[in-house]
Amino acid sequence: MRIAIATLGCKVNQLESDAIAEEFMANGHEVVPFPRPFDICVVNTCAVTAKASAESRRLLRRARRLNPEARIVATGCLVQVAPQDLLDALDWQVCLVGNDQKDRLAGRVLAHGDCIGLYMGDVARLTRCQDFPVRSPLSRTRAYLKVQDGCNAFCSYCIVPYARGRSRSLPAAQVLDQVKTYAEQGIREVVVTGIHVGMYGTDLAESPDLAGLLARLCETFPRMRFRLSSIEPLELTHGIIEIAQTRPNFARHFHIPLQSGSDRILRAMNRKYTGAFYRDLVTSIHERLPNAAIGTDVLVGFPGEDDEAFGETVSLIRSLPLSYVHAFPFSRRPFTLASALPETVGPQEKARRVDTVRGLGARKREAFYRSRIEAVEEFLVERIDREDGFITGTTSNYLPALIRIGDAMPPPPANSLIPVRITDVIHGRPVGVPAT
Ligand code: SF4
């Protein structure tokens, strides 16, 4: 059978889809890219924002339109938090598989030929981090590594703890095993990810914490570059920053969500740090690692965010050595504390605030790229496009750089890590030449 998998949402969802695809293939089926003709379509949904939920429903309807005879399977966070709404919204037969049973999805779907119904339990009761082993990643350069699932933080706007349950970590032996497989496949960069990755190890006896795990990975796989995905400000410890300072194969890149620069709004969001703490953290990373990329997320239009609070966010971002900023508008999510708060920022004003932060972020990004001109950075060769005449790749500090093929004689082998001198920023893209 031909299986198509459409995925929305975060890196963890993406990795889980890859593992599901492998399981289908291991059972003798062909996995085709969505929307190529399929017999079974799996839609791995997301519910992090109202827009992501709507997009998930749209994809399911599209799959149905593409092939009304096919079996359609929905899984992921939207299924976990709103199965009945989904069944009501789709007036045809669909198979729903909750996050708690996602690791058994392929087996379930293949065992039940009619494939309708609901396969899900209470995700809050899960105590084990489900393993989604990926034996043969699609990309040969970069791969995701899920070391943790779930979240105990309950930020007041966030649906994730309800969709993914409590924090659980993958034992270090399993983590190392997965990286060994990636190394055997020739992968050169691994993105260490999780839903709340800073909680790594807190639920496991005799397990390293996140800093310990990262140090072990860097030491065991010296040819591999490790990049840490988003980490909460309070969990970016001295030990982790020290790894970035001392281990050459740890990417100089941190993504640290801010969400708001107003202490009042941070409290209402149930986030346990202040703007001053965030400022000190970013400033100290910049002092210790001046070439590091430091990115952030900001949530605008939270209930009660008045002009003054928004102004505090803007001035904090403006004052910090950030390399890029992602901005999202607040949207009410079911079950969350903030869903009960009266909305005080209208849609137009919310959109204006998103634009303001994104504009600021774009200027920060350009300034960061320009600050690297003449610097030599470690560059992973991801794609050699002879037709366009460019080699594309990413530096340790997250520059999506380009090299003209003619400037690299002979062209470096794909998937190699080479030093590159950044020479310019053209149309918003850093350009470089191999450094000798
Ligand atoms: S830390 Fe907060 S924002 Fe992040 S997943 Fe947990 S509840 Fe959501």
If you ran DSSP here, which 8-state letter would residue 262 be given? Answer: -
In ligand 1, which atom is closest to the CA atom of 271?
2
**CB distance 299 to ligand 1 below 6 Å:** no
Same-domain status, 240 and 102? no
For a ligand 1 pocket test, name from 10, 155, 299 the mutation site with the most ligand atoms within 8 angstroms of its C-beta. Answer: 155
Ligand 1 centroid from CA 10, angstroms:
13
Same-domain status, 349 and 381? no
> What pLDDT is stored for residue 111 in this prediction?
83
The CATH number given to whatever domain includes residue 417 is 2.40.50.140
**CB distance 195 to ligand 1 below 6 Å:** yes
Same-domain status, 340 and 393? no
Ligand 1 centroid from CA 155, angstroms:
6
Same-domain status, 207 and 92? no
Strand partners, 254: 294
Residue nearest to atom 8 of ligand 1 (CA): 158
265 lies in a domain? yes
Per the rule left: phi > 0, alpha: psi between -120 and 50, beta: everything else, 182 is alpha
Closest CA to 57 of 26, 34, 30, 90: 90
Same-domain status, 260 and 181? yes
**CB distance 261 to ligand 1 below 6 Å:** no
**CB distance 155 to ligand 1 below 6 Å:** yes
**CB distance 1 to ligand 1 below 6 Å:** no
Place of tokens 């399977």: 73
**CB distance 158 to ligand 1 below 6 Å:** yes
Below-50 pLDDT ranges, the chain: none
The pLDDT tens digits of the residues spanning 282-306 come to 999 999 999 999 999 999 999 999 9
> What pLDDT is stored for residue 168 in this prediction?
97
Q: Where are the beta strands (DSSP E) in 90-188?
A: 95-97, 117-119, 142-146, 148-149, 168-169
Ligand 1 centroid from CA 321, angstroms:
24
How many domains does the chain fold into? 3
398 lies in a domain? yes
Place of tokens 């003209």: 404
> What pLDDT is stored for residue 137 in this prediction?
77
The CATH number given to whatever domain includes residue 179 is 3.80.30.20
Structural domain boundaries enclosing 40:
2-121
Closest CA to 159 of 297, 313, 53, 257: 53
The CATH number given to whatever domain includes residue 61 is 3.40.50.12160
**CB distance 151 to ligand 1 below 6 Å:** yes
133 lies in a domain? no
Same-domain status, 167 and 117? no
- CA quadruple 190, 168, 107, 175: dihedral, nearest 10: 30
Same-domain status, 227 and 289? yes
Residue nearest to atom 1 of ligand 1 (CA): 153
Q: At what angle do helices 210-220 and 172-184 cross, to 10 degrees?
A: 30
213 lies in a domain? yes
> What pLDDT is stored for residue 410 in this prediction?
84
> What pLDDT is stored for residue 408 in this prediction?
73
Strand partners, 32: 4
Same-domain status, 306 and 398? no
Same-domain status, 98 and 238? no
429-434 vs 417-426, strand pairing mode: antiparallel
Ligand 1 centroid from CA 154, angstroms:
6
Same-domain status, 75 and 98? yes
Alpha-carbon span 151 to 167, nearest angstrom: 5
In ligand 1, which atom is closest to the CA atom of 152?
6
Tokens, residue 239: 């030990």
**CB distance 224 to ligand 1 below 6 Å:** no
Tokens, residue 21: 């695809």
Same-domain status, 90 and 204? no
If you ran DSSP here, which 8-state letter would residue 125 be given? Answer: G
Alpha-carbon span 284 to 279, nearest angstrom: 8
pTM: 0.94
Q: At what angle do helices 307-319 and 275-288 cross, to 10 degrees?
A: 10
137 lies in a domain? no
- Of 88, 121, 154, the last residue of a domain is 121
For a ligand 1 pocket test, name from 48, 123, 160 the mutation site with the most ligand atoms within 8 angstroms of its C-beta. Answer: 160
**CB distance 153 to ligand 1 below 6 Å:** yes
Same-domain status, 262 and 330? yes
Ligand 1 centroid from CA 151, angstroms:
6
**CB distance 196 to ligand 1 below 6 Å:** yes
242 lies in a domain? yes
**CB distance 198 to ligand 1 below 6 Å:** no
127 lies in a domain? no
Ligand 1 centroid from CA 368, angstroms:
28
Query: What is residue 380's three-state secondary structure?
Result: strand
Alpha-carbon span 286 to 206, nearest angstrom: 33
In ligand 1, which atom is closest to the CA atom of 151?
6
> What pLDDT is stored for residue 297 in this prediction?
98
> What pLDDT is stored for residue 138 in this prediction?
72
380 lies in a domain? yes
In ligand 1, which atom is closest to the CA atom of 259?
3
Query: What is residue 426's three-state secondary structure?
Result: strand
